Amino acid sequence: MQSRKKPHYLSGEVLKLLSYCPLCESNYNPLRAKVLEEKDEAHLLHIQCSNCGGSVVALLFTSGAGPTSIGLVTDLTSDDVLRFKDQTTVKTDEVISFHQFLFPTN
């Protein structure tokens, strides 16, 4: 995905997918959604609820079947998402090593 430097306005259909907070069910102001990246018809968004402070990172894309979204409730800020999105994945051995560090066997 290419980074987007200037504000981008999404279509009304796509914004309807971001209509309410999944945590407190308050209505979102769709204009508060930040477009973090876009490529073709896919948009990576971050939106924070003004009522409860919860955040959602969503991938919205449109196809012949219409708009579709995949969302994830998170505690990340939009800056955090941009910082971590291209990081390499954590390997299983790294998780095991960290667990052994935290809980050494005697």
Do the Cβ atoms of 47 and 63 come closer than 8 Å?
Answer: no
* pLDDT of 76: 93
Count of structural domains within the chain:
1
- Domain range enclosing 43: 2-102
- Could you tell me the pLDDT band of residue 4, with boundaries at 50, 70 and 90? very low
d(CA 52, CA 63): 32
Tell me the per-residue pLDDT of 22-70, one tens digit each, with 9 for 90 and over: 889 898 877 788 999 988 888 899 999 989 999 999 988 877 787 788 8
d(CA 83, CA 37): 12
* pLDDT of 11: 52
Which residue is associated with the tokens 């876009």? 38
Nearest to 33 by CA among 24, 14, 22, 42: 14
- Kind of pairing between the strands at 34-39 and 42-48: antiparallel
Give the residue-averaged pLDDT of 79-98.
Answer: 91
